[in-house]
Amino acid sequence: MSSTLPLLVDGAWLEARIDDPGLRVIDASWYLPSENRDARAEYREAHIPGAIYLDLSVDLADPDAPVRNTLAAPDALARALGSAGISNAHDVVIYDRKAGYSAGRVWWILRYLGHQRAALLDGGFEGWSSEGRRLSREDVTREAQDFVAAPEPAWLSSSADIASVLERDEARILDARSSERFRGEGPEPAGHPGHIPGARNLPWSDNLHGDPGRFRPIPELRKLYEDAGVRFDAPVITTCGSGVTAALEAFVLTLAGHPEVSVYDGSWAEWGSADGFPIETGPAR
């Protein structure tokens, strides 16, 4: 296990440590049903050596919740991570096949559970493979470990928290959906068209540049968020369709130095489909 683990690592960093017994690598690839892709099948075709696969919707979600991808209870998350071979002592590097799209969700879950030693792989699977690094088809299983959850509630927000923000203007709400969905234009798969009143918008893909996508330099990221209306001296609650790319933006804000970020787990799947929650359309005010 490394003495320090950066929030963001590159392929060379990971390749040099790939056989470290104190390291766990997670393939967190996940897709919307409309994408018609099977993330687990893609994992079986090729993945980073030693990586385990975790499915956001199956392994880490509450199956009885009315809203898709709702975070499972801390004890259930701890059992899932421990069963996958992850303990509190492990360094964890997470990647996906869309440059952080869903990997950020697993990073955020670990942070919520009190696990500080987690990083994303810059460029994800596509970056790793484009660099000619070795791949595996082995379906990896790890010996079960004890993972003890120590939840940090500040990482998690609810609809009640959003309502409080709207009433008291306590924090900036930042929406990671596309600009079209934010404005309420075209089909909205997660509820009524529009956005939470007063929210600002920064599409999750704006955090990336190049092909394969990699994160923009930190000064560029800070400017992106500041231009979107985010203050780095005031709390931020991120939201999206179902809490996936909202978690990626929580990661990026943390990477850029923001000290107080939380994720609205229900996101638009909850807010946009509930009766009585206020909704706006059009551009950010």
The residues that are catalytic are 240
Q: How far apart are CA 240 and CA 96, in angstroms?
A: 18
Burial 235-271 (b: 16+ CB within 10 A, else e): bbbbbbbbbbbbbbbbbbbbbbebeebbbbbbbbbbb
CA angle in degrees (0–180, nearest 5) for 82-96-260: 75
Distance CA(185)–CA(255), nearest Å, equals 31
Token reading at 277: 């929650």
Q: What is the rounded (10 degree) CA torsion for 188, 192, 197, 202?
A: -10
